[in-house]
A and B are shown apart, each in its own frame.
Chain A
């Protein structure tokens, strides 16, 4: 049977593929930034910063593809929401890569001195963030709102680790004020990862919106503030 919207379907599939490719690049940037930090590898850190331009470029390419589909194919209902979600998702992913580049910058600044402590929680935060990103894109592909909501739930794990890192580094700083510089840099690293977690939550919100047409707040940040747990 003749497919009535063959071209639209093909273009949506293409956008989907590019989003996955962008997701892989962002995931890699996050993991590599932690590697650069761990190994105090300045060359790798510079490479991440350089590669951020490719991520930015791909984001703009996808956005242009989305605009072209809107202008030429007049998508409606879930087709339109898929495209609107795609534009938001690539913007969020591009910003995640900026956070990874930020960590790479910090890795360069910290490279001359030994690490304050062995990195345990920070790589854990990065791993969870990457798993979340991966799972949110799987939910996007599978059009599964429950899976997207489950991803957002995991942001709490990152937030808890962030609190843990903060408390631990505070102890170091109190014990030895000479550690303040290195501890602060590490705090910034953790903060970048915490922000990545928030952005994955935003991606999940967009996935839920794409499928259900409803904008749901999946971030329980407000309740965290109420508990006074962190900032």
Chain B
């Protein structure tokens, strides 16, 4: 089933076109990886999916993005609600300078979710889902910045999960992490995909090969190829994709 359907998307930073005619269907409960060299448009594309690019002045978008069949750029759409449904995890772990508990509780408090559910319960469940609970359950009131980078990133994932999203966007979530912390995030992604739809931008081709179900290859603002990950890394249809995954261009 398709969670997100993108049709003929063009994106401009001022006069410069950063994305050209992107059409892609993102499947529910799958991990979709976006690969490509720096500046190819993959992060720009990711940020179109929860309208994070709206915050950058002079940007313009053409085409259509449907989330569960609804146009996310329609004038009636509440952007805050959209970003709650489509969460974003950044490249560098960015916990707030607050306690572990308050970091996770931040979103539910802002959105008023704690009026419907017990906040402790939300925080506990989010930390458990993010695979961090066992490590922090006795230190919930300690500063989040005291955690290791890998733990901080899982805390940011817990913070995203706390607002009950449907789609999780990850922009290079492991690039600041050591290999073991990276593998923990990848294991977490596998665990989370049962309940969420995950899209990850990564520079690490091995990570895309290891962790994703589908892979899209971006090059100079275009989506060159989108297929099952297995196919992209064994027998891609486009020679440019093959050259890139083999490390010959880029």
Interface residues of A (CB under 8 A from B): 4-5, 8, 74-81, 213
Contacts and interface: CB of A to CB of B under 8 A. Distances in A.
B234 A76 contact: yes
B206 A79 contact: no
B117 interface: no
B234 A5 contact: no
A74 B236 CA distance: 17
A4 B245 CA distance: 12
* Most-contacted residue by chain A among B236, B242, B248 (CB, 10 A): B248
Contacts of A4: 247-250
Contacts of B40: none
B131 to A, nearest CB: 26
Contact of A213 (B234, B248, B249): B234
Contacts of A76: 205, 209, 233-234, 245-246
Interface in B206-250: 206, 209, 233-236, 242, 245-250
A213 B245 CA distance: 15
A5 B242 contact: no
Contacts, number: 30
Contact of B245 (A8, A77, A81): A77
Nearest to B249: A4
Contacts of B246: 5, 75-79
B242 A78 contact: yes
B193 to A, nearest CB: 23
Given A4-B248, A8-B247, 4 more contacts: A5-B246, A74-B206, A76-B205, A77-B236
Contacts of A81: 234
Contacts of A74: 206
20 contacts: A4-B247, A4-B248, A4-B249, A4-B250, A5-B246, A74-B206, A75-B246, A76-B205, A76-B209, A76-B233, A77-B234, A77-B235, A77-B236, A77-B245, A77-B246, A78-B246, A79-B246, A80-B234, A81-B234, A213-B234
B242 A77 contact: yes
Contacts of B247: 4-5, 8
A54 B236 CA distance: 39
Interface string B60-73: 00000000000000
B235 A213 contact: yes
Contacts of B248: 4-5
A76 B245 CA distance: 7
Nearest to A9: B248
Nearest to A75: B246
B100 to A, nearest CB: 36
A80 B236 CA distance: 13
B179 to A, nearest CB: 13
A85 to B, nearest CB: 13
B187 to A, nearest CB: 20
Contacts of B245: 76-77
